[in-house]
Amino acid sequence: MKKRHITLLFIMCIAALRVPAAVSDVPLLRLTLTSTDGWTYHRVGGELSREALQNYRVTLLTTEAGEACTLESPLADCTAADSLRVDLFYRVTDLGYVAAKLALKVDLLNAQGTLVGSTLIPAQADVYEQHMICTLPVPKAGNYYLLFSAPKADVADHASVRSVYVYPATRDARSGDVNGDGQVDVADVNGVINAVLGRSALNADVNGDGQVDVADVNAVINLILSN
């Protein structure tokens, strides 16, 4: 049997399956009072716990001597993400001290610890409950983690992280490169099939109709054959 016939037979076998396209409102990472697993707070004598978050002890600062107190997320699977949206809630406990001086830095690092992206989020003046938002592009499919710091000295011992949510901005699958490796090839066909079968949360809506189904398998094969 020819390879193309085998492919068509397989497509017919999964033709009845239809699952909704992946949604991007489920956080990839979150740090809350009830969810601190995998997160690390780097500060001598510091701890990351429900009590520490409640009692404003998860501060981010860099001392005059250069010691940085930082917050590190666990690794996240960013295979399906074009970018990450970070929502960080920061409670200021002394406005007079902190106003206009606070800015948080968010670094994106790959699994080997190499810095691949960075942004600085300035605080709003005279606001106790700071909602700090930034977007970091994901350079290519893979696992990444985030490192939060305050690079200016002495700014943030009067403020504390309250919670962090990191949402994936779903990769646009219409190019056919559903796994984000820069190529449209058989690996993407496998990716779409796995998404159709519910084995992967990859955005595989290649034809952009809002569903992930056999039509997307056809669409990615057509993209490969047309190249």
Contact present, 130 and 89 (Cβ < 8 Å): yes
x/- mask, Ca ion, residues 158-197, rule CB under 5 A, reads -------------------x-x-x-x----x---------
Smallest gap from Cβ 207 to Ca ion, in A, equals 4
C-alpha 197/C-alpha 209 separation (Å) is: 18
| Extended beta strands in 17-114, E state | 18-20, 29-31, 40-42, 61-62, 68-72, 76-77, 81-92, 103-110
Smallest gap from Cβ 77 to Ca ion, in A, equals 16
- The residue (of 157 and 205) whose beta carbon lies closer to Ca ion is 205
x/- mask, Ca ion, residues 48-87, rule CB under 5 A, reads ----------------------------------------
Smallest gap from Cβ 206 to Ca ion, in A, equals 6
Smallest gap from Cβ 173 to Ca ion, in A, equals 8
Using CA of residue 179, residue 183, residue 187, residue 192, what is the dihedral sign?
A: positive
C-alpha 154/C-alpha 16 separation (Å) is: 61
Span interacting with Ca ion, options 3-11, 121-129, 151-159, 216-224, rule CB under 5 A = 216-224
